[in-house]
Structures are given as structure tokens and as C-alpha cells.
Structure 1
Amino acid sequence: MGRLYQVTVVGFKGERVTVDLCNTEEQMSSMTVEQLKTKVVAKLKINTELSRISLIFADERLDDDSKLLKDYGVQHMSVVQLVLQVDGGRQL
């Protein structure tokens, strides 16, 4: 077992939580946006569809669920902002 890879997520209510991603660099390099969303929803106990969750890192929306986190530059101990899409197109 290697290092524990984590990111910090700032929730839509301002809460900061640490999300455990994986245990190896190989796993980290193959982690997708969708996998991170799934972990965030479980950690924050959010009761909504993944499609309504948006993540932002370094002023860029992680908008392709199948894309790798490393493609967006997300790495161990990155800070990611959680945004919830609501009806009417507004975001909180």
C-alpha cells in the first residue's frame, strides 16, 4: 500500500471536506471526473443525480465525466469546488 491520495472539496455550503481517492499513483493517474463525483456525493451525503453536480478546479469546470482528473491538472491535495446545478439554470 502506498500513499493515500486525497483532494479537498469545498461544498456548496462552504464546508471543506477531505475526500480519499486512492492508494497508488497508478490509480490516481486513471481516476475520472465521474469517480471523483461519486466519492464526493458519498462523502457529503448529497441526494442528487451526478449529472447535477459540477466540479471546478483552477477556474475550469470539470465538465467531461469520462475525462481523467490528471487531464485537468487535479493531483494529490488539490482543492476542488462543488457546484450544484438547480432548475432554471442558476448555480449555487
Structure 2
Amino acid sequence: MSKKTKLEHSELSGEFTEDGITVLVDISRPAGTQNDWKLEVITQNEDLFEWDEPFATDREAFDEFLATVARDGIGSFLEEDDIPTTH
């Protein structure tokens, strides 16, 4: 059986809410290393979005997340059926 790698999670990780949509931003790397950081976004429906390329710093990873939200909107992480509508 293989041991699961322990991860160090950035202080920048956590829930992010905009326009009534909340996602979990997870920025991590193997614990005890100086490896690059991995960026993942997890929706309330447990859909997972992973960036292919790692980031040199956790700040760069979080800034990329913010840039994606600014460019594409937070709804870009959701399936069309999951986007809240207002009436």
C-alpha cells in the first residue's frame, strides 16, 4: 500500500465567495519541501478544477485564481445548471 503524501496548505487557501457563488481554493505542496505550489478550485458540487502548471509561490497561485475570476467570472467554475439565478 502506498502512503498518501502529506500536504502543506497555503494560508491563502479557503472559501471564496462572489456573486452568491462559493468555491474552495486549495493551494498546496508536499509538506516539508520547497516544491512549487499546486492550485485547485473545488465547487460546492465537488467539481474539481486543477491548473496544469505549478506556481513558484502561493501568492502567484492565488493571483492566477483571482485573475481567472476577474476575466471569466466565478460562474466559469460551475456547470450551467448550477449557476444561481435571480427572479
What TM-score results when the alignment is normalised by the length of structure 2? 0.29
Higher relative contact order (CA 8 A, sep 6+): 1
Higher radius of gyration, 1 or 2 = 2
